[in-house]
Amino acid sequence: MSTLPKPKRTNMPDWLQFVVAELTKPPYFMNQEAESPVSQAYAPNTTASGNSAHTSKSATASAAKPRAQRERERDRHTSATDNLDTVRRQPANATRSHRNSDIPERVLDQYEWKIAHTERVPGALKVTLQDGRHFAVKETDIPAKRVWFIHRALNWAKKQGFSRFAPFYFTKAKSPVFVYEGKTYYATSWIDGQNANFASAEHVAQTAYTLAQFHEATKGFSSEKFTPDDVYDLFGLMQQRNRDLRRMIIRADAKRDPDEFDRLLVTLKPALLDDSAECLQILQSRECVEFLESDRRNAGLCHLDVTPGNCLYTPDHHVALIDFDLSTFAPRALDIAHLLRRSFQTTDWDGHFAYACFLHFDSVRSIPKAEYKLVEALLRFPYLPWRLAHTRYNYYASQEQLDDLQQYALQADRRKAFLSSLAEQIRDLSVEAKS
């Protein structure tokens, strides 16, 4: 896909200047013809592999691996109200016989395939054909009409030049989806790659660029048959989470025999409620409200499930997206904030990654002040404590939840420093605009 001309950087944050020299160079992957090697400045902590990210673990630094594992465990019981951040349950070890797989034989029979073997992989079944081609077959919770919506949206995006995704493969009945015994299944082409490493600035930069391209390429798309609800009421969403957080803190404080998680959550109460209130205040500002109203009139799709396993770092040093089940029309600030939050949790709120993310979103379409403010609001909300408590008090309790909450508390100063710096830079944008 040909990229849009890079805007001037006058609207970009100017902190962390020592990375500007590297980051402001035109990234090699923006040029479809370029074959430059990965920049050593962003070299991931992994060895490149042809194995798919469906089958490989995220190649993060040793310190990041336990957190990624804990996040997968925590996300298994995510509430439907948090469907913007769902991560699918990882299946058991791979098996070679498709007769023993989780995907019924009847589903595989819907495709014009001569299967050599199959293999269970995280979130899907990998099908290898006798001619050497590979496909991924997945059971999904979304209805068939939403699969059709995603298929049409991706076809629209492809016509606009976006190709970093796994297209659907049609059944014999010429459908991208098959419903069997009340369950929904679909197949896509297989993408070789590894799970994106959000502790690598290079991977974050490329993920940001691909997400921005996807959002831009889906503008103008419409579907008369079915369109899922959009996600533009950010204030309503965060207000709901704020109420939920307050209820859970009250619950923890009222316990007669509180455990260590309860006590720590109550200790964090003042900071958590202050951050939540600040988030809502920003979202209520006239600037943010007007921006969302304007953006909604020319909306693009957001992925809304930005996890390492859904962002594949490919052998040609690009990032491709898979699993668009949650995609719908939404402000791209949601994808920006989700990518940054995931990265910050493994990098102790290192601003390098924010700059890489902002720069590459901005290279596709310039980020105005109001959009920065939306991202700030979403990052200010104490998302991790809310999610940990929501899972613990509604589904199950685990030691990993306490570990993650303790880690959040340890990162509090770094988090506060970053958010203060970001807010200051956003205020400076107003001064620049007036001058």
Mapped onto helix, strand or coil, the DSSP state of residue 328 is: strand
pLDDT at 238 over 50: yes
Q: What is the pLDDT of residues 289-327, one digit of tens each?
A: 999 999 999 999 999 999 999 999 999 999 999 999 999
Q: Report the length, in residues, of the chain.
A: 435
Mean pLDDT of 394-412: 97
Burial class (CB in 10 A: 0-12, 13-18, 19+), 418: buried
Residue with tokens 């930005």: 306
The answer to whether 79 touches 85, Cβ cutoff 8 Å, is no
Ramachandran bin of 317, using left for φ above 0, alpha for ψ from -120 to 50, beta for the remaining angles: left
What are the Cα distances from residue 72, in Å, to 20, 68, 258, 307, 362? Answer: 34, 6, 26, 10, 30
**pLDDT range class, residue 430, cuts 50, 70, 90:** low
Closest CA to 204 of 32, 338, 52: 338
- Token output for 332: 């791209």
- CA dist 360 and 161 (Å) reads 17
pTM: 0.79
Who has greater pLDDT, 142 or 40? 142
**Contact predicate 416/83, CB 8 Å:** no
User: Model confidence over 116-128: pLDDT tens digits?
Assistant: 999 999 889 999 9
Phi/psi for 406 (5° steps) reads: -65, -40
209 with 363: CB under 8 angstroms? yes
Q: Does the structure show a pLDDT above 70 at 269? A: yes
What are residue 169's DSSP bridge partners? 187
- For residue 335, pLDDT over 70 is answered with yes
